[in-house]
């Protein structure tokens, strides 16, 4: 069975601090995809990144970076030099080959204080 755990329910930091959001997943498949979505206070869900199970290269996009480690079944998300606009709920999700659906973690509410 597939499962995604985001153990950090809420995180609060001061602007310009670096912050890492943890995501741990469970799957029996060797082929799967991992995703991160952002939900700002306005409520919509914004796609951030997709990573397949065969590509363990870390990815960086501006102040955002993602660390995928199959050995620990983790796909962590780091925001460098955080800004108030980064305040949102962030969801990690998993899609297995053949399962034909996304399974979401519970989400982490990130608050960046000025």
Partner 1 sequence: DADVTQTPRNRITKTGKRIMLECSQTKGHDRMYWYRQDPGLGLRLIYYSFDVKDINKGEISDGYSVSRQAQAKFSLSLESAIPNQTALYFCATSDLSSGPWGETQYFGPGTRLLVL
The footprint of partner 1 (CB under 8 A) covers 4, 9, 31-33, 35, 37, 43-47, 50, 52, 91, 95-102, 104-107
**Residue with smaller CB distance to partner 1, 86 or 96:** 96
How many helices (H) and strands (E) are present in the chain, helices listed first? 0, 12
Report the alpha-carbon distance of residue 99 to residue 101 in Å, rounded.
Answer: 6
We find the least distance from the C-beta atom of residue 15 to partner 1, in angstroms, to be: 26
We find the least distance from the C-beta atom of residue 29 to partner 1, in angstroms, to be: 9
Q: Does residue 42 come out as left (phi exceeding 0), alpha (psi in the -120 to 50 range) or beta?
A: alpha
Nearest Cα to Cα of residue 8 among 24, 18, 19, 22 = 22
We find the least distance from the C-beta atom of residue 104 to partner 1, in angstroms, to be: 4
Report the alpha-carbon distance of residue 91 to residue 103 in Å, rounded.
Answer: 10
Cβ proximity of 48 and 38 under 8 Å: yes
**Residue with smaller CB distance to partner 1, 64 or 104:** 104
**Residue with smaller CB distance to partner 1, 14 or 45:** 45
We find the least distance from the C-beta atom of residue 113 to partner 1, in angstroms, to be: 22
**Residue with smaller CB distance to partner 1, 37 or 82:** 37
């Amino acid at each position: 069975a597939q499962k995604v755990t985001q153990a950090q329910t809420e995180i609060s930091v001061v602007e310009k601090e670096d912050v890492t959001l943890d995501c741990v997943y469970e799957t029996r498949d060797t082929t799967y995809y991992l995703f991160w979505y952002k939900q700002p206070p306005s409520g919509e869900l914004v796609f951030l990144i997709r990573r397949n199970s065969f590509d363990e290269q870390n990815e960086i996009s501006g102040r955002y970076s993602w660390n995928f480690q199959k050995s620990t079944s983790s796909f962590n998300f780091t925001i460098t030099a955080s800004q108030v606009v980064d305040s949102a709920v962030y969801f990690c999700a998993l899609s297995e080959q053949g399962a034909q659906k996304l399974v979401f973690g519970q989400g982490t509410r990130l608050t960046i204080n000025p």
